[in-house]
Amino acid sequence: MMHSLKDDKRIDPEKLPRHIAIIMDGNGRWAKQHGKARVQGHEAGARSVRAVIEACRELSVPVLSLYAFSTENWRRSAGEVNALFRLLSKYIHKEIGELHKNDIRVRFMGRWEGLPKRAVDDLRYCIELTKDNQSLTVNVAINYGGRAEIVDAARSLIKKGVAPDKLTEELFAQALYQPEFSEVDLLIRTSGEVRVSNFMLWQISYAEMQFPEVLWPDFSKEHLCDAIAEYQSRKRRFGGR
Ligand code: IPE
Ligand code: IPE
Ligand code: MG
């Protein structure tokens, strides 16, 4: 019988990160390791998405941001891009009932322009259905770029006619895609690559970062608990002493 994650003695429930962001990397390498097609790597990655969502909810982590498709991922082959969006719709249809039942709220970060119509419809449905849910918020980053987000924020502030001397960091943060969640406490990138690849550039300014070697399809609840325990062992100083 599996213990509840809340029984993990290494984790202090009083010091949980309030916002975890994950760069889900390594699906292609996982597929290669297993002699499978890249698409099958992405399919396997979808199971890890389910696991981390469940884990965050069990532990009462309030916000999880997931990097699913970057503004640079359009450079991949049309076949892979189409497969990723097909998988997104399949995932939504398969999981939405359970997500809603578990009181999980889904939000979107990214540019709507350029997304396939089916993805737009499925995402909008999912966001609308779950908008009043309270247990965990999952921000999915699709057609997302940190620089694009900053440019979009600047555009919206200029359109509102904000005067230059009235612009503050707080006001700027209010113009980001999900202004309620403008600080990331813990950033995890799987697969051993040590870079941020244009993810949440504004929000990670004081995030604790971890780069576990594990490939995304192998990332489990246990790995998330390891990351949280490691996070809690660090001393965050925010420039102070
Ligand atoms: C991450 O896995 C998934 C997406 C970027 C959509 P990759 O597809 O980048 O896997 P690797 O880096 O080739 O192993
Ligand atoms: C970052 O991974 C994007 C996502 C996980 C969605 P990539 O695999 O696209 O990043 P690079 O190309 O290795 O920097
Ligand atoms: Mg990659």
Quick one: pLDDT at residue 2? 57
Q: Which residues of the chain have pLDDT under 50?
A: 1
pLDDT, position 4: 84
Ligand 1, CB cutoff 6 Å, lining residues: 24-29, 69, 73, 84, 191, 216
Check if 143 is active-site. Answer: no
Which residue, by CA, sits nearest to atom 8 of ligand 2? 25
Whether 170 maps to a domain, the answer reads no
Residue 156 within a domain: no
154 lies in a domain?
no
Residue 120, CA distances (Å) to 22, 47, 163, 216 in order:
22, 22, 34, 25
Cα(139) to centroid of ligand 3, in Å? 20
pTM higher than the cut 0.95: yes
CA-CA distance, 4 to 122, in Å (whole number)? 32
- The answer to the question of residue 4 being in a domain is no
- Name the closest ligand to CA 216: 1
Q: What is the pLDDT of residue 6?
A: 87
Residue (of 91, 96, 102, 87) closest to 56 by Cα position:
102
Residue 75, domain CATH: 3.40.1180.10
Ligand 2 mean position, distance from CA 163 (Å):
36
**Packing angle between helix 38-59 and helix 221-233, nearest 10 degrees?**
60
Q: Is 46 part of a structural domain of the chain?
A: yes
State in Å: Cα 190 to ligand 3 middle: 9
Please give the residue range of the domain that contains residue 223: 16-145+183-233
Task: Judge whether 210 lies within some domain.
Answer: yes
Supply the residue whose CA is at minimum distance from atom 11 of ligand 2: 197
Counting the structural domains of the chain, the total is 1
Establish if 33 belongs to a structural domain: yes
Distance 193 CA to ligand 3 centre (A): 8
- Ligand 2 first shell, C-beta below 6 A: 23-25, 67-70, 73, 193, 195, 197
Give catalytic status of residue 198 as yes or no.
no
Is 3 within a domain? no
